Amino acid sequence: MRLKVIDKGRGLNLLQRLQILPIRLAAGNYPSPHLVLSYRRDLHGRWFVRFLQRALRKSSEWNKGELELFAAFTAKQLACDY
């Protein structure tokens, strides 16, 4: 499920919109996880991104490739875009 407010770029500052524009023009869309993490940075802040990276990458015995494969498999099973 994609929120219209995020698709329209509300909550993103001008610099974020300019960074996203070339990717949207080339690919037709922008990856949802990046949009969610970019949305209202003043609310979530950089600490949230650092927390996610630490929780998802460093607290596991799995390497990055195994985590990506597991995420892709889970997304396929749940029929969501990854």
pLDDT in tens, 39-79: 766 666 677 778 877 777 776 688 888 888 888 888 888 87
Overall average pLDDT of the 11-32 stretch: 74
Average pLDDT of every residue of the chain: 73
Paired tokens of 60: 């596991």
d(CA 59, CA 37): 20
